[in-house]
Amino acid sequence: MTNNLYEKGNLKNLSKLKELAPEQLQAFSEFNSAVMAEGALDKKEKEIIAVAIAHVTECPYCIDSHTRRAKAEGASLEELVEAVFVVAGVEAGGAVTHSTHLHNAMDSEADDSLYRRSNLKKLGQLNKFAPEGFKGYSTFSRTAMKDGKLSGKFKEIIAVAVAHATQCPYCIDVHTKNAMKLGCTNEELAEAVMVTSALLAGGAYAHIANLIQSYSD
């Protein structure tokens, strides 16, 4: 028994899935292959998105495998790091935008609907009570999303994918609109969301290796 819960060697346990759940394994493999195939987004772009989403799910197996695949498809280290900073920006934005619920909770007359676009008008409250932090967040968010090794357009596609992984409706709304303004197509956004879906499933799939290891110890 090892004290390290994350050993690459754990992944050998996934070979047992052919016996434990062959039908489910086959369906997952076909799903993953279909999602990651060349389409409106090329394989390099999809692998960059996959690396980004793996940092949302915080699955070390997925980070390792998709970083290697992204590199094989021609992604540079700078591109991958920029993609992960998009993740950091969107996740920070999720906390910031959800602060509107804090202020709704303090208002006895607040609407019963928890998610309204108009809630975002209350972001000024966060700036009012934590101005320096809010200024720092705003600068960071703009910097994370600007053109760099990755285009601003592609960063918005990544942001839409990340927003679906974090399940922040404000982030989905804002970044979808930003992406469309920059010329993103429905096909590109749909494929990005499917990469998110595959990575969320993939994190669970990969961790079956730990389940089997723990059961066997």
pLDDT value at position 23? 98
Spatial separation of the C-alpha atoms in residues 109 and 106, rounded to whole Å: 9
Mean pLDDT computed over 60-71: 97
CB contact burial 31-60 (16+ within 10 A = b; e otherwise): ebeebbeebbbebbbbbbbbbbbbbbbebe
Superfamily (CATH H level) for 41-106+115-216: AhpD-like (1.20.1290.10)
7-16, 19-28, 107-116, 182-191: least confidently modelled range? 107-116
Residue 83 vs residue 1, higher pLDDT = 83
Q: Tell me the pLDDT tens digit for each residue of 176-216.
A: 999 999 999 999 999 999 999 999 999 999 999 999 999 98
Per-residue pLDDT for 1 more than 60? no
Residue 190 vs residue 170, higher pLDDT = 190
Mean pLDDT computed over 33-46: 98
pLDDT value at position 114? 67
| H-state helical runs in 130-185 | 131-145, 152-166, 169-181
Q: Tell me the pLDDT tens digit for each residue of 81-132.
A: 999 999 999 999 998 887 777 676 677 777 767 667 777 777 778 888 899 9
List the one residue out of 2, 3, 52, 12 whose CA is nearest residue 206. 12
What residue type is 86 in one-letter code? V
Domain boundaries, the chain: 41-106+115-216
